[in-house]
Structure 1
Amino acid sequence: MTHEPWTGDVTPGGPTALRVLDEVEIRKVSVGPMDNDAYLVTCRREGAQLLVDAAADPDRLLALVREGNPGARLDVVVTTHRHRDHVGALASVVAVTGAQTAAGADDADAITETTDVPIGRRLHDGDLVVVGHATLEVVALRGHTPGSVALAYREPEHARAPGAVPGRVHLFTGDSLFPGGVGRTSGPQDFTSLLDDVVARVFDRFDDETWVYPGHGRDTTLGAERPHLDEWRARGW
């Protein structure tokens, strides 16, 4: 699958892009000076919502929440990692919505130090995050930061919505995996750690139709990236 799945604009500063699946709707906006991608996952049956990275522009993110649920219900904000460009709106969004907070266990204290927002749930590899009738699995990807996490949502086997693929995984990767490579690391040891996790916990587990939603820029699929894994390891970034 190589087509762009979204309806709407996916350019930085553009309006919301929307993807409708059987159980959930996924909305994407680009916010802040570093064009961070923020994603809202909405359970279509219950209206429960999860925000991936309250990165910047709290007014835009709160409008996004209302687009998903006119009652402005937001159940949880998951922060993929500790870097400042991914937490700039966290305090404001949580203050307005009362949403719970979650982040990788090894990044949680650093996020609180930066934002003054306590992290209510410290995530580990294999944990589950439930949003209404939808479940997302935590995938820890160590290297970009010690506590970086991705979230994997799998379409139900009975999926019938237009464009749905039964069993397909949708993976929100933060800054750990992009089109063309893994995220930036501070040295060879962290690069090896990140690539090893990405290979073992992502490419070895999920098939080529898995859709990847990174923290910046355009989406990709595992099928598009898989042929380049050896190249990434050889170049060291």
Structure 2
Amino acid sequence: MTYTGDVTPAGPPAIRELPGLTITKYAVDPRMANNCYLLRCTATGAQLLVDAADDAPALLELTGGIVDTIVTTHQHWDHHRALADLAAVTRPMTVAGAPDADAIESATGVPVSRRVGDGDVVRVGDVELEVIAIAGHTPGSICLLYRDPAGHPHLWTGDALFPGGVGATFGDADAFATLIDQVETKIFDRLPDETWFYPGHGGDSTLGTERPSLPDWRARGW
């Protein structure tokens, strides 16, 4: 089946097969509808989970109980509710943006093995994911970029970027200015229109689809 990125909480996952990477998107929690992404290196079988958001039993089933790395995109509670339970079983390396790491450790009781920033590389088997730090939604939010050598880039954005706008900044004008500036300069100015992005909630999109709306987002202030 053609991958669309459309999933519903506790419904079937959406699976995308790339030459070197299998992407499995799974939604949890009907109220928050968080997306969790399992990335599997097809050459080595290594697995990385983006956001252990909720429902540890379902995520353990999805992963087969084997997770080499868990990346938490940011410190907000809804993105790491299953982290402690998954970490207790799978003993993964845990990764988070350096400015958010203390808050994640405090909330979950799980030490962050690796605190990352702009330009760092997180590996899942033979696959390299570049860290793009995007402040504003939280101080230490991170995105992960995969430059598929056989196709277009793929970008996991957490709550920094969604179809239709950037993440919430809760009425903080300075935080919004930081977020929209960094999304524009670090993502839209660097990456091509065909870049497919995978947000922390809801459906996916491409940068080309969203690019014409950037001036409107900036003008409305959210």
Instruction: Please state which band the TM-score falls in when normalised by the shorter chain.
Output: over 0.9
The question of 1:22 aligning with 2:19 is answered yes
Match of 1:35 in 2: 33
Conserved 8 A contact 2:197-2:206 = yes
Map Cα deviations across residues 31-90 of structure 1 (whole Å, 9 max, x no partner). Answer: 023110000000001000110000000011111112xxxxx3311000000000001000
User: Aligned equivalents of 2:59 and 2:93: distance in 1?
Assistant: 16
| Residue in 2 that maps onto 1:182 | 166
- Aligned pairs for 1:13-162 (under 5 A) are 13-32=10-29, 33-66=31-64, 72-156=65-149, 159=150
- Provide the rounded CA distance (Å) in 2 between the counterparts of 1:94 and 1:27: 19
- The gaps in structure 1 that reach 5 residues or longer are 67-71, 160-165
Q: Is the 2:84–2:109 contact (alpha carbons within 8 Å) kept by the matching residues of 1? A: yes
Question: Aligned partner of 1:178: which letter?
Answer: F
TM-score, length-scaled by structure 2: 0.96
Residue type matched to 2:22 in 1?
A: E
Q: Which amino acid aligns with 1:11?
A: T
Aligned-residue RMSD, C-alpha: 1.1
Instruction: Tell whether the 8 Å contact from 1:6 to 1:18 is kept in structure 2 after alignment.
Output: no
Aligned residue type for 1:57 = D
Give the fraction of aligned pairs with identical amino acids, expressed as a percent: 56
Take 1:6 and 1:76, find their aligned partners in 2: how far apart are those partners? 25
Does the Cα contact within 8 Å between 1:47 and 1:73 map onto a contact in 2?
no
The answer to whether the 8 Å contact 1:28/1:39 transfers is: yes
C-alpha contact (below 8 Å) 2:15/2:24 kept by paired residues: yes
* Secondary structure in 2 matching 1:107: helix
* Counterpart-to-counterpart distance in 1, 2:186 and 2:68: 27
Count of matched residue positions in the alignment of Structure 1 and Structure 2: 219
Q: Which amino acid aligns with 2:159?
A: D
Match of 1:172 in 2: 156
Please say if residues 209 and 221 of structure 1, whose CA atoms lie closer than 8 Å, have aligned partners that are also in contact. yes
CA deviation after TM superposition for structure 1 residue 13, in Å: 2.3
Q: Please tell me whether the aligned partners of residues 51 and 78 of structure 1 are also in contact (alpha carbons under 8 angstroms).
A: yes
Q: State the distance in 1 between where 2:12 and 2:162 align.
A: 22
Q: Which residue of structure 1 lines up, in the alignment, with residue 8 of structure 2?
A: 11
Task: Give SS of 1:106's match.
Answer: helix
C-alpha contact 2:74 2:158 (8 A) present in aligned 1: yes
Which residue does the alignment assign to 1:219?
Answer: 204
Q: Counterpart of 2:191?
A: 206
What is the CA–CA distance in structure 1 between the aligned matches of 2:7 and 2:73, rounded to whole Å?
Answer: 20
Amino acid at match of 2:108: T
